Chain A
């Protein structure tokens, strides 16, 4: 990686408030558990059977990582939940994780980042649209779904427009000046709604900090007219 620490590449992952899921890819299964832990099972095929040979179990805040090799390295068949950590598991902090696991950690973090970008944190119903500020703050994604079928998806670097006709495109700086009045009005409403969502998020954050460590998110304001 050419870097001296994992922290210089990425921040610890954060699975707070994410709903459980178990997602299989070609070589691994990544799970968000009920506890908020993130679990990665690495698979190897043996006698036409997929076996879990290595597990990384990462705490919800991303700072504690257990590594273990189930069944003393022989692995277990893949089932619907990760193997429990044995007593002889290896235990690391984010900053002490050996470099050979960095890529695996980054893989888990990439998955969590994707899920955060699709998980609503603040939902705000306006007169014309449902505006959702996602969990991937800072610079969280925003999806503004207009009741007439149009949709605007803002990420930190692109704006995607789906017109009510279904025509879709990505907006770039040079195109902003060529937009029709209609599309511009959708964009204006999306930007205004985005600002309201950020303001609501900030206000709720303030209240949350006064409370007893219970998250007030996700939160919904208003309802569809």
Chain B
């Protein structure tokens, strides 16, 4: 289980973070 080089960030995660913002305004 090589977790050392795992990277979470990608477009899917970025889209999720954007949706968390109230009123869709960055």
Contact = CB atoms under 8 A, between A and B. Distances in A.
Contacts, number: 51
A143 B16 CA distance: 17
Give the dominant DSSP class at B's interface: loop
Contacts of B8: 23, 25, 30, 110-111, 114
A103 B5 contact: no
A220 B22 contact: yes
Interface string A154-192: 000000000000000000000000000000000000000
Contacts of A132: 21-22
Given A103-B1, A119-B20, A145 B26 contact: yes
Contact of A42 (B1, B5, B16): B1
A120 B22 contact: yes
Interface string B1-19: 1110111100011001101
Given A24-B12, A132-B22, 8 more contacts: A28-B3, A104-B3, A114-B8, A118-B17, A132-B21, A145-B25, A145-B26, A224-B25
Interface of A: 19, 21, 23-28, 30, 42, 103-104, 107, 110-111, 114, 118-120, 123, 130, 132, 145, 218, 220, 224
